[in-house]
């Protein structure tokens, strides 16, 4: 069964912010390619939704998956869908960020 993959508004905002940051540092091409790879990794969860690490200690049902040792994809698996909750870059403390956003996921 293939799961539908959707992005929460905060995850979309994370991608836009990440693109802007990389664009300023390295240019349009590199920023676009990096964000495209992150999106592809997120969409691949539709085929293999239970990858990553369960983080019930942060919030029940939350899973995390590292991306190229620079980003963390935070997601939740539902009955027929994977919901991308956040995409955090550069060593941000995702557990602290998620605990502060009780209603987001």
**Domain 4-100 annotated CATH 3.30.2310.20:** yes
State residue 96's pLDDT score. 61
State residue 58's pLDDT score. 86
CA angle, 30 then 33 then 37, to 5°: 140
45-61 pLDDT, tens digit per residue, is 999 999 999 999 888 99
State residue 1's pLDDT score. 83
- Domains of the chain, residue spans: 4-100
Three-state DSSP class for 97?
A: helix
- Given a cut of 70, the residues of the chain with pLDDT beneath it are 91-105
State residue 98's pLDDT score. 60
State residue 101's pLDDT score. 64
């Amino acid at each position: 069964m293939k799961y539908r993959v959707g992005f929460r508004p905060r995850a979309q905002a994370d991608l836009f912010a990440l693109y802007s940051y990389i664009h300023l540092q390295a240019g349009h091409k590199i920023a676009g390619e990096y964000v495209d790879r992150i999106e592809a990794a997120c969409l691949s969860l539709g085929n293999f939704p239970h990858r990553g690490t369960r983080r019930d200690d942060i919030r029940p049902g939350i899973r995390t998956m590292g991306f190229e040792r620079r980003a963390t994809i935070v997601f939740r698996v539902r009955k027929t869908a994977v919901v991308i909750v956040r995409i955090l870059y550069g060593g941000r403390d995702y557990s602290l960020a998620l605990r502060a956003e009780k209603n987001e996921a």
